[in-house]
Amino acid sequence: MTIRINDILDEVSAYIPEADKRIIEKAYVFSARVHQGQTRLSGEPYLTHPLEVAYMAAKMHLDVEAVTAALLHDAIEDSLTTVDDIKAAFGADVAAIVDGLTKISKIAFMSKEQQQAENFRKMILAVSKDLRILLIKLADRIHNMRTLEFHNRAAQQRIAKETLDIYAPIANRLGMHWMQIELEDLGLKYTDPEGYATVKDKLDAAAKLKEGYLKDIMGAIEAELAKHGLNAEVYGRVKHVYSVYMKLKRQGIPFEAVYDILGIRVILESVAACYEVLGIIHSLWKPIQPRIKDFIAMPKANMYQSLHTTIFGPGGELIEFQIRTREMDRIANEGIAAHWRYKDGSKLDERDGKKFSWLRQLLEWQKEVHDPHEFLESVKIDLYPEEVYVFTPKGDVFRFPTGATPLDFAYNIHTELGHQCTGAKVNGQIVPLKYKLKTGDVVEIMRSSKQHPSKDWLRIAKTSRATAKIKAWLRTQELQQSTALGREILEKKLKSLHIRKDIDFDQLARDFALKDAGELFGAIGFGRLSVHQVVHKIAPEAPKEAEEHKTAERKKKGEGSGIIVKGEENLLVRFARCCRPIPGDEIVGYITRGRGITVHRRNCTYVEEEDPHRLVPVEWEREPQEVHEIEFSVLCQDKPGMLGSITAILGEQRINITKLKAHSLASGSSVCVFRVSVKSLAELEALFAKVRRLSGVERIERLQAS
C-alpha cells in the first residue's frame, strides 16, 4: 500500500486525539516542495520515502514533533534547506531532530573492521542525544532496506553490511525486536543471497511439515489452560532466517540440529499465571532441565522478559515454549519504543532491583515524568558514560575513557606526535592540552618540535598508553640529566680538592663495576655512588671528608640546608613546595633530575607517585637553625576579632606570617589560610594547640598543595 498523508494523520489521531495535526500537514507540504522533481531509484516520487518513515514513526506512537521531523528528515541533506529554515517553520525541537538525523547520515563508515563497527554503533547512540533521532533513523533504514533491490550490486552489499554491522545491533540493544528481525533478514538477503535462500527454504519446509503437529500441541495446552480457568493466547512462532543462519554458522551444526526453530508462545494476564502455566506444561511433557530459563526474574539487559522451557513433545520432538504477560510480549517486540508510547493504563512490573543496564535507567527517568513527550525531551542518552568517541579529521573514530585529553589522542596515533603535542584543534577551535574530549569531537593535534613531555603530563593523560610513553621519555631524560649532574658534581669536587690529573673515567667506571664513564656519572647523579668514594679511588691521599662531617655541606644561598643525606654530601638540597616539610616531619629525599635532592614529607601524595628507585633516605640535622615556610588553614566562626586573636598567638610565638588569605563561607564560617615560617614540627604543633583552644575555632590543619 502506498502511504498517504491522511494515513499518518489518522494513525496519530488514534493515539493522540488532542494532537494539533496542522504542523504535520505543514511538514508534508514543506517536504513535498523540497523533494519536488526528485525520484527514488524505484522511479517513485521521492516523497514516498519520508511518508513511509513518518508512518512508521506514527506506528511506533511517537509524538507529533517526531512524526513531523520524520517527514522532514532528508530535507536538509537533499536540498538547500538549512536547520534554521526548519527551526523557523517548525520550532527548535523538530529542527534538533532533523539536524541529528542529518549528522548521522553524514558519518562516513570509512573502516570496515569489526572494532570500528562497534565504535560507530556506540557513537551513533551517543550522538543521538534524543531517542527520537535514533528511532526515526532506524525507520529510515528499514524503508531503505525494503527498497534496496533498486540499487546496484555494490551499493546493495555496502548498505546491507552496514545494516548488519551497525543498525541491527542498535535495534537489538534497544530491544526493538521487530526492527531487528527485519533489518537482519534483509541484510542477510543482500550480503549472502544463497545462504539466505537455503535457510529460508528449509525454515518454510519445516514450518509446513510440523504445522499439524504444533496445532495438536497447542490444542492440548489450550484445553489444559481452560480447565485451570486461565485466559491465554497461544500461537506458534518460527525463528527468523538470520538467527538460524548465524546459529548454524557459529555452532557448525546442520539445520536439523537446531531444536528451537519452531516454538509456541503463551501470552497471559499476570506474572503469577506465567509460572502456573510453566508448571502445567511441565506436568504434561518432560522438560529439558538446562533449557528452563527465567527471564522474568532476571530480565535481559534490553528488558526482555519471558519464561523459556524446552520440552520433549509427543514422538520425542523438542518444542520451546515462551511464556509471558501481554506487557512483556509488547516490550519483547517493541523494546524501548514500548516504554513511552501512549499508555493503556497498565503498569510495568518494577519489583526487581537487579542490575539493569541503561535501559533500566531510562525507565527510572520515565517514572518521574508523566507526559511521554516530556520524557523524550528530558532523555539524554548517555549509554556509555565511561567512554568518549572522537574523530580524526579523516573520519576515523577512536574510543577513549571519559576524561581523556588531546595528549591521549596524540599518543594513540604516534609516540612522536604525543611527545610534541602542544594542544589540539577541536572542531576547529584551539584547545589546551588538558581539554577533556567529548563524543563527536573532531580532533586535530597541534605539534611543535620544541615541545617535549613534562611531569605534569602524567596528570593530564588518562590512558595507560600515553602515561607509559610519557614515563619512558621522562626516564630517558632523567638519565641524561643525572649523567650531566653527576659529571658536574665530580668535576667540581675534583676542582675543589685541586686534583688536576688526567683521569680515564671509563677505566674508573670499571673499577666500580660500571660499564663506562656515562654510567659512572649517572650513578653519582642518581646518588647511587658517593662522589667521595670516587674521589678516594682517584686520589686516596685526599682528605676523607665524609668521615670528618657527615652533614650535607652543600650551601644554598650561604645557609646549611639542615638535611643529612645518607652517604652523600655534595648534592643540592631543596624542600618540596607541595608538602613543605619542617624539622620533625618524617621525610624522604627524591633525586630530581638536574636539581639534586628534593625533600618531601614521607606521606606527601606526590612522593607516592614517584619512581621508588629515585628515593633516598634523608634525616634532619639535630639542631634546626633555619626557618621553613608552611601553610595551614583555620576554619572558624566569622566574627569580629577572630582573625586578630589568631594573629596575636602567632605574634606571641614569634612566628612570622608571610601570607594570609581569608574568606567567608555561606555557612557563617570563614576560612583563613596562613603561610608562616617555623623552625620545627614541635613549634608548629605548639602553635596549633594554642589556636585550637581559641573559642570560635572549628578546625586547623596543615596544607599540602594538590
Nearer to Mn ion, 74 or 408 (CB): 74
Nearer to Mn ion, 75 or 421 (CB): 75
- Taking contact as CB under 5 A, which single stretch among the options 138-146, 286-294, 500-508, 529-537 is the one that binds Mn ion? 138-146
List beta partners, residue 293: 308
Q: Who contacts 415 (Cβ-Cβ below 8 Å, separation ≥6)?
A: 469
Nearer to Mn ion, 146 or 228 (CB): 146
- Taking contact as CB under 5 A, which single stretch among the options 118-126, 140-148, 179-187, 405-413 is the one that binds Mn ion? 140-148
Which value, to the nearest 10 degrees, does the dihedral of the CA atoms of residues 79, 83, 88, 93 take?
130
Nearer to Mn ion, 158 or 465 (CB): 158
Biggest CA pair distance of the chain: 113
- Taking contact as CB under 5 A, which single stretch among the options 120-128, 133-141, 294-302, 349-357 is the one that binds Mn ion? 133-141
Nearer to Mn ion, 158 or 675 (CB): 158
- Taking contact as CB under 5 A, which single stretch among the options 135-143, 573-581, 636-644, 683-691 is the one that binds Mn ion? 135-143
> Nearest distance from residue 178's CB to Mn ion, in Å?
19
3 state SS of 56 = helix
> Nearest distance from residue 103's CB to Mn ion, in Å?
13
Strand pairing class (573-575; 596-601)? parallel
**Of 344, 233, 332, 325, the residue nearest 272 (C-alpha):** 325
- Taking contact as CB under 5 A, which single stretch among the options 80-88, 137-145, 284-292, 572-580 is the one that binds Mn ion? 137-145
CA distance linking residue 128 with residue 358, whole number of Å: 15
Query: Is 256 noted as a catalytic residue in this protein?
Result: no
3 state SS of 372 = helix
> Nearest distance from residue 292's CB to Mn ion, in Å?
44
- What kind and span of H or E run contains 606? helix 605-609
Kindly report the CA angle at 612 between 609 and 618, in degrees rounded to 5? 105
What cell was used for 200?
Answer: 529460508
Residue indicated by cell numbers 537533499: 78
Nearer to Mn ion, 74 or 185 (CB): 74
38-77 positions binding Mn ion, by CB under 5 A: 74
Count of residues near Mn ion by CB under 5 A: 2
DSSP-assigned letter for residue 87: H
CB 552 within 8 Å of CB 563: yes
- Taking contact as CB under 5 A, which single stretch among the options 136-144, 434-442, 574-582, 637-645 is the one that binds Mn ion? 136-144
Q: Closest-CB residue for Mn ion?
A: 140
> Nearest distance from residue 104's CB to Mn ion, in Å?
10
Query: Is 387 noted as a catalytic residue in this protein?
Result: no
How far, rounded to the nearest angstrom, does the alpha carbon of residue 639 sit from its chain's CA centroid? 47
User: Quick count: other Cβ atoms within 10 Å of Cβ 178?
Assistant: 16
Select which of 7, 10, 11, 77 is catalytic.
77
The stretches of 336-405 forming alpha helices (DSSP H) are 358-368, 372-378
CA distance linking residue 337 with residue 350, whole number of Å: 18
For the chain, how big is the Rg over CA atoms in Å? 37
**Of 29, 12, 19, the residue nearest 71 (C-alpha):** 29
What cell was used for 40?
Answer: 527514488
Nearer to Mn ion, 139 or 390 (CB): 139
List beta partners, residue 662: 672
Q: Is 140 in the site for Mn ion (CB under 5 A)?
A: yes
HSE-CB of 653 using CA atoms within 13 angstroms: 24
> Nearest distance from residue 120's CB to Mn ion, in Å?
18
Nearer to Mn ion, 90 or 245 (CB): 90
Nearer to Mn ion, 140 or 545 (CB): 140
> Nearest distance from residue 74's CB to Mn ion, in Å?
5
Select which of 7, 18, 74, 78 is catalytic.
78
Q: Who contacts 374 (Cβ-Cβ below 8 Å, separation ≥6)?
A: none
> Nearest distance from residue 33's CB to Mn ion, in Å?
17
**Of 141, 95, 146, the residue nearest 121 (C-alpha):** 141
> Nearest distance from residue 455's CB to Mn ion, in Å?
52
> Nearest distance from residue 447's CB to Mn ion, in Å?
40
223-242 positions binding Mn ion, by CB under 5 A: none
CA distance linking residue 44 with residue 59, whole number of Å: 22
Residues engaged in binding Mn ion (CB under 5 A): 74, 140
Q: Which residues are catalytic?
A: 77-78
